[in-house]
Structure 1
Amino acid sequence: MDNTNHKKALINSEIALFLRGLIIGKVLTLMVIGGLLWWLLKPNLSSRSSVDSSSNQSFNRVSSTASNFKTVTDVPNAAFNYGGSTAWASIRQLVDSQIQSDRPELQLRYVDPVNSSPGSSSGIRMLLDGKLDFAQSSRPLTDEEQAIAKERGFSLEQRQVGMDGIAVVVNPSLKVSGLTVDQLRQIYLGRITNWNQVGGPNLPITPLSQRPEDADTVIFSSNSDLKGQALGSNVQYVYSTTEAVRQLSKIPGAVYYASARSVVPQCSVKALPLGQNSGQLITPYREPMISPEQCPRQRNQLNTQAIKDGSYPIIANLFVIIKQNKGREEQIGYAYTKLLLTDQGQKAIEQAGFVGVH
C-alpha cells in the first residue's frame, strides 16, 4: 500500500514537472516570436514616424511660406469702383498703388460721395445703392445696413484686414491729463459740458463730430448704446477730419475723435490719453509725446503696441465690406480682401501706419 502511494506520488510529480516545462517552453517560444516580430516591424514603424514628421514639417513650411500680391488667384481683369472710410486714405495711397503695380489687370477707382461727407457710413450706403463694388470701413456693419441689403436681395459681409485706434484730439493749449471712455461719451451726449468737470480749466466744451449718418468711426461700443440717445445739442458737425482739425486750432475748448492714424501725427492738435478708468490712461501715441514746436520735423507716431495688445480702450477694426450677390462685386470684394491678407499686404498695411491682423 505504501509502495503504491509512493509510485502515485512520483508519477504526479513527473506530470507536474512535464506540464511546467511545457508551459515555460511555450512562454519562451512566444517571447522569441514576439521579439522577432518586433525586430521585423521596427523599420516600418520608424519609417512611419519619419513620414509623419516629414508631413508635419511640410505642412509648417507651406503655412509659413511668404505670400504676395502675385500669388493671389481669382483676381478679376477689370476696373472697379470703391470708397468709404477716410481713415483708409494712407492704405489707398500706399497699399493699393502697390497692388495695381503688381497686378496691372486690376484697376481700382476711388469714388467720393456726392451729397454727403466721405466716410465708412457713406461708403456702405453707396455699396448698398450699387454705386461701389466694395467698400472700406473703420467700423462694423450695423443691423440696419444688413437689413437693407436683405431687402434688396443680397447680403453684406465684413472681413477684417487691420486695426486702428480711435484718438481724441483737442487744442494743444488745453490742459487736461486725459479722459475715460465714459467721460468721452458723456461729452458727446451733452451731459458733460465744461472741461472743469473732467479735471481741466473752466472752459466750455465744444464737441466736433461728423454727422452720425456719415460717421467714419464710432465711439459707442454697439448699436444699442445709441438707441434713443441723441448727441448733445452743443455738438457742432463737420464735413471731414480735415475741417475738424482746422476748427480745433481755432477753438480752445474744442474736442474731436477720429482714426488715430489720421490725427495722431497732426501738428496742430494734441491727442489725449484714454482709459476705461482714470487710473489707467493709455496714450494713442508712442511716448514721449512730440510737442507742436518739434513738428513737422518730428511727428507723433501711432502706439501700435497698445492697439495690438488691446490695452488701448477704443479700437477701430478695418473691414473690407463685400457685397454677396454671386456677381462681379462679390468676386472683387473677396479678391481685394485676399490681397490685403497676404504677407505683402499685411506688411504694407503696417507701413501705412496701422496694425495688421496676422
Structure 2
Amino acid sequence: MDNTNQRKPLINGEIALFLRGLIIGKVLTLIVIGGLLWWLLKPNLASRSSANSSSNQSLNTDSSTGSTFQTVAEVPNASFNYGGSTAWASIRQLVDSQIQSTRPELQLRYVDPVNSSPGSSSGIRMLLDGQLDFAQSSRPLTDEEQAIARERGFTLEQRQVGMDGIAVVVNPSLNVSALTVDQLEKIYLGQITNWEQVGGPNLPITPLSQRPEDADTTVFSNNSNLKGQALGSNVQYIYSTTDAVRQLSKTPGGVYYASARSVVFQCSVKPLLLGRTSGQGIPPYREPMVSAEQCPRQRNQLNTQAIKNGSYPIIANLFVIIKQNKGREQQIGDAYAKLLLTDQGQRAIEQAGFVGIR
C-alpha cells in the first residue's frame, strides 16, 4: 500500500496549524505591545486632553479671575433691537458675539436707520422714536435730546463703558504732520481754508464730515462755546467713515475726523498728530508711524496709553444710552451695560481696539 498519498493530507494539516499558530502569536504580540504603549502614553494623553479642555473652557467662558458675562444677573430672555455709532462696529463683531454665545437667552439685532446715515445721533433719535431698545454712542447726550425724552415721558441715561480718541486723517501725500485743536475747529468753521495757513502747501482744504444731525462724533464735543455752531460752507458731507476714507484717498487737500479706532489702521489715509498747543502734538497711533508703503503688511495701532492717561487732546467716551422708562427697554439697556462693565467685558472692549475704563 502506498503511504505517500496518506501522508500528504497530514503534512498539509500540520502546515495549516503551524501558520494559524504563527498568526495568532503575532496578533497576541501586537496586542501586548499596543497595551504597553497605551500604558506608557496614558499620562501624556490625559494631560493633553486636560489642557485642551481647559483651553476650550477659557475661550468660551473666560475662566480667568474677575466678573464674567455669566455672573451678570437679570439678563432678559428675549430679542432686542439696538444700533447707533459706527465706531462701535468692532464691539458688535467681537464683544456682542461673545455675549450672545455665553448668554444665548439674549438675542441682539442691529438695526440701520432708514432715511439717514448710521451714527450716534441717528441711533439716539431712533431710541427716542421707539425704534431701538437701547443705543450705542460715541458722544454724550445733548440737552435737546434729553428735553425730547422728557417731553415723551421718560429720561435717557448715558452709561460710559469705554474710551476712544478722535483722530484727524488726511491724504498721505499732504505735507502736513500736525494740527492743534484750535486749528482743526477753525478748519471746520470755514475760518481756515488753505493748508498754507497751517504750515502746509498752497492747497485748498476740503473738510469732510457727516451731517451734524447724523454724526457719529463731533469735533466740538469738548468745547461748549462752539456747540451747535454751523459748519463752514466748504464742508462736504459724506454718508459714513468708509465713504470719507475712500474720498480722502482721491482728494489731496481733504481732511476728516472720526473715531481713532475707525481710521488709524487704514492704509489709504495719514493720521495727524493733534495738540492742545503748537509743538505739543500727540499721535493717535503708537509710534513709529507705519507708512502707506508698509501697509497692509503692517498697520498703525491705537495709542491707548495717551487716550487712557488723558494726554491725547480729544477723547470720545463710549456710552450705552438707556431709556429710563421702567420697561423692557430699561431692563435690556441696563443689562447690556453691566455685561460690558464686567472684567470680561472690559477685556473684550480692549481686544476690539478701544480703552476700558476699569
**Range into which the TM-score falls when normalised by the shorter chain:** 0.7 to 0.9
C-alpha distance in 2 between matches for 1:326 and 1:92: 26
Q: Is the aligned partner of 1:249 residue 2:235?
A: no
User: Contact (CA 8 Å) 2:179, 2:275: kept in 1 or not?
Assistant: yes
Aligned residue number for residue 293 of structure 2: 293
Aligned residue number for residue 125 of structure 1: 125
Letter in 2 for 1:354: F
How many residues are treated as equivalent by the alignment? Answer: 295
C-alpha distance in 2 between matches for 1:289 and 1:65: 35
User: Contact (CA 8 Å) 1:196, 1:203: kept in 2 or not?
Assistant: yes
Aligned residue number for residue 308 of structure 2: 308
* CA drift at 1:225: 2.8
Aligned residue number for residue 340 of structure 1: 340
C-alpha distance in 2 between matches for 1:237 and 1:92: 26
User: Contact (CA 8 Å) 1:95, 1:352: kept in 2 or not?
Assistant: yes
C-alpha distance in 1 between matches for 2:252 and 2:228: 31
Q: Deviations over 1:226-246 (max 9, x none)?
A: 356311000000000000001
User: Contact (CA 8 Å) 2:221, 2:227: kept in 1 or not?
Assistant: no
User: Contact (CA 8 Å) 2:267, 2:292: kept in 1 or not?
Assistant: yes
Q: State the SS of the aligned residue for 1:356.
A: coil
Letter in 2 for 1:99: I
* CA drift at 1:218: 1.0
Q: Is the aligned partner of 1:92 residue 2:92?
A: yes
* CA drift at 1:219: 1.2
Aligned residue number for residue 176 of structure 1: 176
Q: Deviations over 1:300-342 (max 9, x none)?
A: 0000000000000000000000000000000000000000000
Letter in 2 for 1:244: A
Q: Deviations over 1:178-236 (max 9, x none)?
A: 00000000000000000000000000000000000000011113574335631100000
C-alpha distance in 1 between matches for 2:195 and 2:79: 50
C-alpha distance in 1 between matches for 2:256 and 2:117: 16
C-alpha distance in 2 between matches for 1:228 and 1:159: 23
Letter in 1 for 2:221: S
Letter in 2 for 1:217: T
TM, length-normalised to structure 1: 0.81
Give the alignment of 1:70-219 within 5 angstroms: 70-219=70-219
TM, length-normalised to structure 2: 0.81
User: Contact (CA 8 Å) 1:142, 1:223: kept in 2 or not?
Assistant: no
Structure 1's consecutive aligned runs of 4 or more residues displaced over 2 angstroms after TM superposition are 221-229
Aligned residue number for residue 350 of structure 1: 350
Query: RMSD across aligned C-alpha pairs, in angstroms?
Result: 1.2
Q: Deviations over 1:79-135 (max 9, x none)?
A: 000000000000000000000000000000000000000000000000000000000
Larger-Rg structure:
1
User: Contact (CA 8 Å) 1:163, 1:317: kept in 2 or not?
Assistant: yes
Q: State the SS of the aligned residue for 1:113.
A: coil
* CA drift at 1:279: 1.8
Aligned residue number for residue 323 of structure 1: 323
User: Contact (CA 8 Å) 2:207, 2:235: kept in 1 or not?
Assistant: yes
Q: Deviations over 1:244-284 (max 9, x none)?
A: 00110001000000000000000000000000001210000
* CA drift at 1:65: 5.7
Identity of aligned residues (%): 86
User: Contact (CA 8 Å) 2:222, 2:314: kept in 1 or not?
Assistant: no
C-alpha distance in 2 between matches for 1:336 and 1:176: 42
User: Contact (CA 8 Å) 1:120, 1:214: kept in 2 or not?
Assistant: yes
Q: State the SS of the aligned residue for 1:167.
A: strand
C-alpha distance in 2 between matches for 1:229 and 1:140: 17
Q: State the SS of the aligned residue for 1:250.
A: coil
User: Contact (CA 8 Å) 2:139, 2:221: kept in 1 or not?
Assistant: no
C-alpha distance in 1 between matches for 2:97 and 2:228: 43
